[in-house]
Amino acid sequence: MGMITPLGHTVQETWDALVAGRSGVDYISLFDHRDFDVHIAAEVKDFDPAQHFGSKEARRMDRVTHLALVAARQALEDANLKISEDNTYDIGVVIGSGIGGITTLLNEHTVMLTRGHRRISPFTVPMMLADAATGQIAIQFGIRGPNLCIVTACASGANAIGEAFEMIRSGRVRAALTGGCESPINPFSMSAFHNMGALSTYNDDPKRACRPFDKTRNGFVTGEGAAMLMLESLEHAQARGARIYAEIVGYGATDDAFHITAPDVKGPAMAMRRALQQAGIEPHEVDYINAHGTGTPLNDVNETRAIKEVFGEAAYDVNISSTKSMTAHSFGAVGAIEAIVCVQAINHGVIPPTINYEVPDPECDLNYTPNVAVRRPVRVALTNSFGFGGHNAALVFRAFGG
């Protein structure tokens, strides 16, 4: 596993911050926000891509690709999987990104308007494409198997992991580097999401701005980051003596076919059902749900209703949390970040909290693990990701041998 988030540059740093209940939200430093309506976001701090790639190479990649490559390198090193001519075509890359190199697109559009079309960088296209990170990962690490970019808005990272899982199950590859990446903190993206009424406006108190399931919530906070996992068939992992953190055992994907931005209940519920059915797990066997939990008024109520529809009375017994309360919402990356959170919860027996939960909402009446992490055995964890366009993805992870 590999990860770089607003809470840390590694899986361990991010996990420690989540368990401690620390927020990664702060005032924006990536651009001058003083004339904008939203002043807060969750940025990856103290990150200099030149230290990872050199100045020349770094300038030829968007920040989203920088983050993806850092997380991918960590995952490959953690897996201790060597790419060679013998296995290069047996390993896939499946990465999710909702909007790819949008900052490059914005910057080069500004260049065109101010300096003329001939001044647009020749590197613009390979920097701005949604699949730029997947292509760079293949190039940097020599992976020649199937290479896919999944674009399903905020479900992209989870869908990527699910599709990589199915690719391995079908025998197309023996292993896949998979996850998500996003870096959308720029004036254009922030203004667009704010103007549609999606962003939190708690500018005066950044750390308390993201408040999923709390009655006073008023929108999500934009974040950035990347998270990558190395999935392998059990046979392949055991043959090479790999460390196995957990099993992925279920994947469900649906679409609401209802509204481009407003969530539904039936689609998310069916995604969870199908993931659990594939895993052969009953709802009451789930110990932890990492909720999509964005902090928007509609999403949190509808997800609560969907969980109740699937879990029945067991919905009141399972620990739920929204780690977006700390990482914020990094669109295509966040499903992968939260998949790793589930794996970490299984390995450490700790459920990270939903911070900033202060005023109960009668319509959100489940156990959201408020404000303080809970220590308890976690054998089965489920994570939800829902995206604009009605995309729904649910993943189920289980303790290995459990």
pTM exceeding the 0.95 threshold for the entire prediction: yes
Amino acid 204: pLDDT: 95
**Average pLDDT for runs of 10 along the chain of length 402:** 98 98 98 95 97 95 98 98 96 97 96 97 95 97 98 98 98 98 97 95 96 97 98 97 97 92 89 98 98 96 98 97 98 98 98 98 98 98 96 98 74
Catalytic residue among 33, 329, 342, 391: 329
SS3 label, residue 359: coil
CB 393 within 8 A of CB 244: no
CB 293 within 8 A of CB 303: yes
Amino acid 263: pLDDT: 75
Residue 345, CA distances (Å) to 126, 237, 239, 398, 400 in order: 37, 21, 26, 10, 13
Amino acid 291: pLDDT: 98
Catalytic residue among 9, 33, 66, 292: 292
Ordered structural domains, the chain, with CATH: 2-239 (3.40.47.10), 247-398 (3.40.47.10)
Amino acid 115: pLDDT: 97
Alpha helices in 312-388 (DSSP H): 324-327, 334-348
Phi-psi region of 96 (alpha: psi -120 to 50; beta: other; left: phi over 0): beta
For the question of residue 154 being annotated catalytic, the response is: yes
Whose structure tokens read 């055995």?
Answer: 377
For the question of residue 342 being annotated catalytic, the response is: no
Q: Which two tokens stand for residue 169?
A: 């199950």
Catalytic residue among 9, 33, 154, 364: 154
Quick: pLDDT tens for 202-215. Answer: 999 999 999 999 99
| Edge-to-edge strand list for the sheet holding 288-290 | 247-255, 391-398, 380-387, 288-290, 319-321
Round to the nearest angstrom and report the end-to-end CA distance of the chain.
20
Residue 41: phi and psi, rounded to 5, are -165, 175
CB 64 within 8 A of CB 129: no
Q: Which of 44, 32, 27 is nearest to 327 (CA)?
A: 44
Whose structure tokens read 């009375």?
Answer: 313
